[in-house]
Amino acid sequence: MFIQRSASLLTRSRIAAALLFGLLAAPVLLAGQQPYRILDHWKIGGEGGWDYLIADSGAHRLYVTHGTRVEVVDTQTGKPVGSINGLQGIHGVALDTAGKFGYISDGRANAVVVFDRATLATVASIPAGTNPDAIIFEPATQTVWTFNGRSNDATVIDAATQKVVATIPLPGKPEFAVVDGKGTIYNNIEDKNQIVRLDAHTRKLTATWPAGCDSPSGLAFDIPGARLFPVCDGKKMAVVDSSTGKVLATPAIGDGPDAAGWDAKNKLAFASSGDGILSVVDASSTDYKTIETLPTQRGARTMTYDSGADRVYLVTAEFGPRPDPTPQNPRPRPAIVPGSFTILVVGR
C-alpha cells in the first residue's frame, strides 16, 4: 500500500513538473511564432508612381523608386535623409558590395544612373537596352545587370570601368532577378511564363524552365536550399528547384503580386500583392504552406525584406475613383492622391 501510494505521488509530481515546464516554455515558443503585423506607416508624400525598393541593412537605409526620383529613408527613424533627383522614369536600385555606389534603372532614359551612396550625388549615366527595369549587382564578377523590358535583353556593366561589356538576348520580357553570389543569375520571363538561368562569368544563358505559374513578376531565392519563389497571376507563388528547374509546389498568395522576399533565418517566403495582402509561406518543410495572409493596403504590391531588422517594407498610396473604361483605355487606373505616398513597416 505504501509503495503504491509513493509511486502515485511520484507520478503526480512528474506530471505537475511537466505541466509547469510547459507553461514556462510556452511564452518562448509563442514569441518565436508570432505573426507579422503592421508596425508603422511612414508618410513620404510627393507625387508619382513607384516600383521597386531595396534595403541596405548595414547602413539602415531604404532606397525607394518614386516617379522621377529615389527616396532615401533612415530605417531607424522612418525619416527621409535625402533623394536622388533628375531622373525620368525609374524602376529599381542595385547596391554594390563595397558600400560605395548604387545603380538606378531609368526606364524612360534607357540608361543606368550611378550614384554615390555617401553623398547621393549622380556620378555617371550608362546607356542600357530599351526600358531597363529590374537591376541587380552580381558580386562574383562585380557586374551590374539590368533587364530591359522592351528590348527583351540584359545589359551587363563592369562596375570597375562603368562600361557596358555585354548584351544578352532573352526569350521574352524579363522581370525581377536574383543571384546566388557565385556567378549565377535567375530571371523571370513574364510573357513566356518562364525562368531563365544565366552565367555571369561566361555571360551566357544556360537554362530555360517553366515558372510553374502565369506571368511571373517578383522573385525570391533561398540560396542554401536551392529554391526559387516566383510570384504570379492566379494568386500563386511557385516553388522551383534552382538546380533542376522542377516545380515543387504552388502555394496560394494574394491577387496581383509584383514582389517577393526571403527570410533565410526563419525560412519564410513573402509575396506582396496589389489587393493589399502580404502572404507568408513556410518553406521550412516540403508542404510550403501559406501560414499568414496579412491585410496591408490596396496597391502595396512591391516590397523588400530587411534581414538585419526582420522587417518587410511595402509602398503604396491612396487612390481616387477609377475612371470609366473606354475603347482606347479598357483598364484605366485610378489617380493617385497627391501627397499620400506611404511606406508600410511590417514586423513581429
Residue range 108-124, pLDDT digits in tens: 999 999 999 999 999 99
Distance CA 227, CA 269 (A): 10
- Over 60: is that where the pLDDT of 279 sits? yes
Rounded to whole angstroms, the Cα distance separating 223 from 212 reads 19
Distances in Å between the Cα of 115 and the Cα atoms of 110, 119, 120 are: 16, 8, 6
Q: What's the confidence (pLDDT) of residue 33?
A: 55
Query: What confidence tier does 262 reach under pLDDT thresholds 50, 70, 90?
Result: very high
Q: 3-state SS of the chain?
A: CHHHHHHHHHHHHHHHHHHHHHHHHHHHHHHHCCCCEEEEEEECCCCCCEEEEEEECCCCEEEEEECCEEEEEECCCCCEEEEECCCCCEEEEEECCCCCEEEEEECCCCEEEEEECCCCCEEEEEECCCCEEEEEEECCCCEEEEEECCCCEEEEEECCCCEEEEEEECCCCEEEEEECCCCEEEEEEHHHCEEEEEECCCCEEEEEEECCCCCCCCEEEECCCCEEEEEECCCEECEEECCCCCEEECCECCCCEEEEEEECCCCEEEEEECCCEEEEEECCCCCCCEEEEEECCCCCCEEEEECCCCEEEEEECCECCCCCCCCCCCCCCCCECCCCCEEEEEEC
- Smallest CA-to-CA distance from 149 within 178, 168, 126, 172 is with 172
Task: Please give the single-letter amino acid code of residue 276.
Answer: G
Region 86-100: mean pLDDT is 97
pLDDT of 327 reads 86
Domain count of the fold of the chain: 1
Q: Would 328 be classed as within a structural domain?
A: no
| 58-59-60-63 Cα dihedral, nearest 10 degrees | -110
**Is 8 inside any structural domain?**
no
pLDDT of residue 297 exceeding 80: yes
Q: Classify residue 46: in a domain, yes or no.
A: yes
pLDDT at 152: 98
178 has pLDDT over 50: yes
Mean pLDDT of the chain: 91
Distances in whole angstroms, Cα of residue 258 to Cα of each of 17, 276, 315, 316, 339: 50, 12, 12, 12, 23
In this predicted structure, the answer to whether residue 10 has a pLDDT above a threshold of 60 is no
Tens-digit pLDDT profile for residues 298-332: 999 999 999 999 999 999 999 888 888 888 888 78
Instruction: Indicate if the pLDDT at residue 20 is higher than 70.
Output: no
| pLDDT of 5 | 40
47 confidence band (pLDDT: 50, 70, 90): confident
Does residue 21 belong to any structural domain of this protein? no
pLDDT score, position 208:
98
> Could you list the residue range(s) of the whole structural domain that residue 310 is in?
36-318+335-347
CATH code of residue 46 = 2.130.10.10
1 assigned to some structural domain: no
Going by pLDDT thresholds of 50, 70 and 90, the confidence category of residue 36 is: very high
Q: Does residue 119 lie within any of the structural domains?
A: yes
Q: Is the pLDDT of residue 28 over 70?
A: no
The answer to the question of residue 234 being in a domain is yes
Q: Could you give the C-alpha distances from 38 to 202, 268, 294, 297, 338, in angstroms and in order?
A: 44, 17, 9, 10, 23
Q: Which residue has the higher pLDDT, 326 or 165?
A: 165
**Sole residue written with cell 502580404:** 278
Nearest to 310 by CA among 33, 57, 23: 57
Express each pLDDT in 184-235 by its tens digit. 999 999 999 999 999 999 999 999 999 999 999 999 999 999 999 999 999 9
* Residue 159 grid coordinates: 562596375
Question: Is position 305 within any domain?
Answer: yes
Averaged over 243-257, what is the pLDDT?
98
Sole residue written with cell 496579412: 294
What does the pLDDT average to over 165-189? 98
Residue 145 scores a pLDDT above 50:
yes
Cell of 310: 526582420
pLDDT of residue 130: 98
Weakest mean pLDDT among 42-51, 55-64, 145-154, 214-223: 42-51
